[in-house]
Amino acid sequence: MLATILVMQATSFFAGNIVAKDITGKVTSATDNEPLIGATVQVEGSQGGTITDFDGNYTIKANDGQTLVFSYIGYVTKKVKVKGNVINISLEEDGKSLEEVVVIGYGTMKKKLVTGATTQLKGDDIQKLNTTNPLAAMQGQTPGVNIVSTSGQPGASMSVTIRGLGTVGNSQPLYLIDGIGGDITTLNPADIERIDVLKDAASAAIYGAQAANGVVLVTTKSGKEGTSKITYDGYVGWQTVGRKFKMLNANEYMTIMDEARLNSGMSPVDWTSLNSIHDANGNIYDTDWIDQAIEDGALTTSHSLAFTGGSKTSTYVVSGGYTGQDGVIGGSDVSNYRRFNFRANSEHKMYNGLVTIGERVSFVWKTQRGMGTGNIWNNNLRSAFSSSPIHPVYDQNGDYASTVNSDWNVNDGNPYGNMMVNRFNQSKSGNLDANVYMQIEPIKNLKIKTVYGISYGTSDYRSFTPEYQFTPQSANTLTKVNQSNGNGLSMVWTNTAQYDFTLKGGHDFSALVGSEWSRYNGSSSGGYNDSLIPGFGDWEHAFLDNTNGTDNKRVNGAPYDETRGMSLFARLGWSWKDRYMFNATIRADESSKFAPGHRWGYFPSVSAGWTISEENFMKSTKSWLDFLKLRASWGQVGNANINCYQYLAPVTTTNTNYNFGTDGSQSGWATGSYPSRLANEGVKWETSEQINVGIDARFIQSRLSFTADWYIKKTKDWLVQAPVLATAGTQGPVINGGDVKNTGVEIGLSWNDNIGKDFSYSVGGNFAYNHNKVGSIPTEDGIIHGASNQIYSNAEEFYRAENGHAIGYFWGYKTAGIFQNQQEINDWIAAGNGVLQSNVQPGDTKYVDINRDGQINAADKVDLGNGLPKYTFGFNVSLSWKGFDLSANATGAAGFQIAQSYRDPNSSQGNYSRQILDRWTGEGTSNRIPRVTYGDVGNWQFSDLYLQDGDYIRLQNLTLGYDFKRLISWKGISKLRLYVQAQNLLTLTKYDGMDPEIGSYNGTNGNSSDSWVSGVDMGYYPHPRTFLVGMNIAF
């Protein structure tokens, strides 16, 4: 027996060594046919192997009939039987495989086992879109995630709403970068490995009180085992305004002014007698203020350099980047954005994998200059829309012209000059984010991990305003400087233990328990001085100390309210043969923001999945159906977005001059104290509850992918400030009350395929529907009122949140056209309808008398629509052929309105948009735009005349590239791609403003910002149209 064994072993040994031969080949990506550097090639069952070189080539010894295993991180492993001497392999990305790993709370999971509603974006896809803000690259890519910019200004923030607006407070999702809270907007897109979005409550419940608005998980790139690699990615581009809005020119303006005066019983203007509107040659000025502000050819650029590599025990990646963008309004002198990024990630395995340690460190430094936009009070663009065109930009001395002595309109001003003298501002900020971690695996599949993370931020702002005067009111008689700075430190310590195990019969379990501790504190200070040295005009050296004295210098400082939190959480997952799945989570959160007895909140969730395609009765569908899974989930998440100590009544000290005696002759200053806010010890968490039902399917060898979700999300116990009578003498307390329900559907569809070995393509699209409806509001009238004096001076509120309506709906009058003649007016009144105008005439607006009481007043105002899109959608297509690549992305929204107000109707001499050319000038000439008058006679009260449909579809990105590596055989270079790209190339819309993509309104209501209303255009900074030339190099 022993002899037989020895003979067999010897035979095998000699056969293996005699027959073994060199197998060569190349490993490439099926997506773009690019070589995969460092891919692993092994003989199945052996311990050894090799990796591919810079060109994706490999050589390995194997016998005919043996199996080679090809693997690469992020791609599907492939096995091939040895036959012949050359084996070329194309690997599919994991994104097209059901084995793809997605990030979930405090862990990862195979996509085919996910029971919640999640979406993943690959970092390479984000980087290719070349956006300064990663959120901009997500637009149109994730169904149910509505992303709009709050401005086209460089460095502007973006508004992100997941599955509808659920609160009148902060509606932004939770952002976690490598598990630690951070600012996604300052991330270098080249550093991103992937972004996972947790949309339903069951997926997000593991984050408890932070997750009411959804969760965005960002994973940055890690080093990879294999040969060290250097990559460079960069571009330079030129920007312009995509659509230039046209106002009336000088001749049109003067015609309208004369007509308005005649309609108001006044004489037309003798324009020839007005000296201030004529130049030295006697010609009337014709200034296009908007065109004057636009800076065509504004630059944008980005450069990133990364070093990556590693061994079986240690991996690393180190990267740095620079991003710069100048504004298309006023150029870099008015608005610009500069950002420097540095990142270092590494991981090290010790003691044969028993212990793993690592760190992720990033530092961001950014500077920014900007201009006021968005509302009527601090908006340089709005004055460009409303100022008359018959005043000059510069006077005869070359200085910015003033209208103080104008014989036409002394209040007209100089929009361009005002923008330029107020451009001296700059903010600087630095952020250090770091986390270190250690993981121990004492027994197989038991992983105990601790992570400690910090985020330290510092900011500095300085502005300088020189002396100027453009109108009697628009003047600055003293040079002024503002300075402020702040810093904040947040710390998070997370500990988890996860155990994965399998029981007899194919039952797979995954159990996770964990705890998390957090703390935040910081401070701020600021100063103001309007007594700088007379004539001081040096912006670079304008600081508080450049002054003749200290009488007008005011300095203040205070700590931020410190917050602390403690959390406990657990998750249990079960699956049986990848056919049936069940997950349950629970999280308990404690916050120092609430009073003792109300500090803990509990947030559970359950979800289940059924892979129908694994059932025996589905065997007949295997030829065309690869995968079919049903999902269902329920969960609760929370929100604690309020200031600290709302359960206490803070005391404020003040000096007040009191009058005593019957005639008030006796008076005196008295110092006293009073509560500045009423307390509410019972205030608690805001809660969002969600039900989700979904389906995932793959067809035709996974070429066709389909996913769909239906959800109901109800947010209750809003954190709102209670209304109190003015006689209370203080602010109302923060209370819990109010709820809103969002109902929606999301659909995603994609097709990926190859034609031959050289041509590959993909086509995808997504669609989402959302309906938003307030259920109740705990006020006497069931309304949260919007701010007044916002859309034009002395205007009443024009938006509100109310029972039975969408959050932030537009509230105003409905119109029924224009009175065409006196008989129509008589008939209207005789029918019992009211009129708003005190002296109604033909050509005036016909307001609908909703309650038919013969009057037009607030009781006749109704819901006119809202700025929340009911429908959002996106499309993408990509092609690759022999080194060429072509891709296009489009995004859009529909089912919403935009309230446009470029002109104050109380300003008789303000300019008009070219809309006014379609005004009523006589019977039958117009049934929408009323006659022009000198001063508002009531025709321009807020109504549906201000609203337009905002539906649009935008070609967001179009890219054409070619990899010259195919033509140039430079040793060590694995990629040399050049490309051209156009962004915001085309927008199809009926909206006549500069841009239909308008985010949340930044108007003010008391001491707060009503960010819960969208779609308000009062002179919106437009998104630039950009043309780029770029390069990607890999060594």
Mean pLDDT, to the nearest integer, of 612-633? 94
> Which of the two residues, 996 and 556, has the higher pLDDT score?
996
Of the listed ranges 542-551, 703-712, 775-784, the one predicted with least confidence: 542-551
Give dist(CA 324, CA 365) in Å, integer: 12
Q: Find the farthest-apart pair of alpha carbons in the chain and give their distance in angstroms, rounded.
A: 128
> Which of the two residues, 8 and 298, has the higher pLDDT score?
298
Cα–Cα distances in angstroms (integers) from residue 190 to residues 187, 234, 323, 733, 890, in the given order? 8, 10, 11, 46, 22
Give dist(CA 712, CA 704) in Å, integer: 28
Of the listed ranges 87-91, 538-542, 917-921, the one predicted with least confidence: 538-542
The pLDDT of residue 560 is above 50: yes
User: Which amino acid is located at 665 in the chain?
Assistant: S
Mean pLDDT, to the nearest integer, of 769-782? 91
pLDDT given for residue 1006 in this prediction: 44
pLDDT given for residue 14 in this prediction: 39
Cα 446 from chain centroid (whole Å): 38
Give dist(CA 45, CA 66) in Å, integer: 10
pLDDT given for residue 480 in this prediction: 85
Structural domains present in the chain: 16-92 (2.60.40.1120), 252-262+269-287+382-421 (no CATH)
E strands within 939-1021? Answer: 947-949, 952-963, 975-989, 1004-1005, 1008-1009, 1016-1017
pLDDT given for residue 12 in this prediction: 41
- CB 341 within 8 Å of CB 361: no
* Percent of the chain at pLDDT exceeding 70: 93
The pLDDT of residue 3 is above 70: no
pLDDT given for residue 5 in this prediction: 37
Mean pLDDT, to the nearest integer, of 183-198? 94
Structure tokens, 683 = 């205030």
This prediction has a pTM of 0.88
Give dist(CA 1001, CA 1016) in Å, integer: 6
Cα 168 from chain centroid (whole Å): 17
Structure tokens, 251 = 């001749």
Give dist(CA 944, CA 814) in Å, integer: 6
The pLDDT of residue 416 is above 50: yes
pLDDT given for residue 328 in this prediction: 95
pLDDT tens string 824-878: 999 999 999 999 999 999 999 999 999 999 999 999 999 999 999 999 999 999 9
pLDDT band at 8 (very low <50, low <70, confident <90, very high): very low
pLDDT given for residue 339 in this prediction: 97
- CB 41 within 8 Å of CB 49: yes
- CB 948 within 8 Å of CB 900: yes
Give dist(CA 136, CA 134) in Å, integer: 5
Mean pLDDT, to the nearest integer, of 812-835? 96
pLDDT given for residue 77 in this prediction: 83
What's the CA angle centered on 685, arms 683 and 690, to 5 degrees?
145
Start-to-end Cα distance in the chain: 57
pLDDT band at 10 (very low <50, low <70, confident <90, very high): very low
Matching residue, tokens 């450069």: 303
The pLDDT of residue 553 is above 80: no
Mean pLDDT, to the nearest integer, of 464-485? 86
pLDDT tens string 136-172: 999 999 999 999 988 889 998 888 999 999 988 888 9
pLDDT given for residue 47 in this prediction: 66
Select from 481, 515, 485, 482 the least CA-distant residue to 497.
Answer: 515
Mean pLDDT, to the nearest integer, of 729-746? 89
pLDDT given for residue 16 in this prediction: 41
Mean pLDDT, to the nearest integer, of 698-719? 94
The pLDDT of residue 129 is above 50: yes
Give dist(CA 950, CA 749) in Å, integer: 25
Of the listed ranges 51-65, 445-459, 580-594, 611-625, the one predicted with least confidence: 51-65
Structure tokens, 158 = 């973006």
pLDDT band at 1003 (very low <50, low <70, confident <90, very high): low
- CB 864 within 8 Å of CB 943: yes
b/e 995-1025 (16+ beta carbons within 10 angstroms → b):
bbbbbbbbbebeeeebbbbbbbbbbbbbbbb
pLDDT tens string 425-466: 999 999 999 999 999 999 999 999 999 999 999 999 999 888
pLDDT tens string 649-704: 888 877 776 666 666 556 666 777 778 888 888 888 899 999 999 999 999 988 99
E strands within 152-214? Answer: 158-162, 174-177, 180-181, 192-198
In this structure, are strands 215-220 and 174-177 parallel, antiparallel, or unpaired? parallel
Give dist(CA 904, CA 374) in Å, integer: 15
The pLDDT of residue 79 is above 80: yes
Mean pLDDT, to the nearest integer, of 102-120? 91
Give dist(CA 245, CA 256) in Å, integer: 19
Structure tokens, 444 = 């197989």
**Mean pLDDT in the chain?**
89
In this structure, are strands 897-900 and 947-949 parallel, antiparallel, or unpaired? antiparallel
Give dist(CA 67, CA 176) in Å, integer: 42
pLDDT tens string 378-401: 788 888 999 999 999 999 999 999
CA dihedral (103, 105, 106, 109) in degrees, to 10, reads -40
> Which of the two residues, 792 and 819, has the higher pLDDT score?
819
- CB 561 within 8 Å of CB 95: no
The pLDDT of residue 252 is above 90: yes
pLDDT band at 727 (very low <50, low <70, confident <90, very high): low
What's the CA angle centered on 193, arms 191 and 195, to 5 degrees?
110
As a whole number of Å, the CA-based R_g of the chain is: 33
**Residues 842, 843, 848, 849: is their CA dihedral positive or negative?**
negative
Matching residue, tokens 């996913």: 707
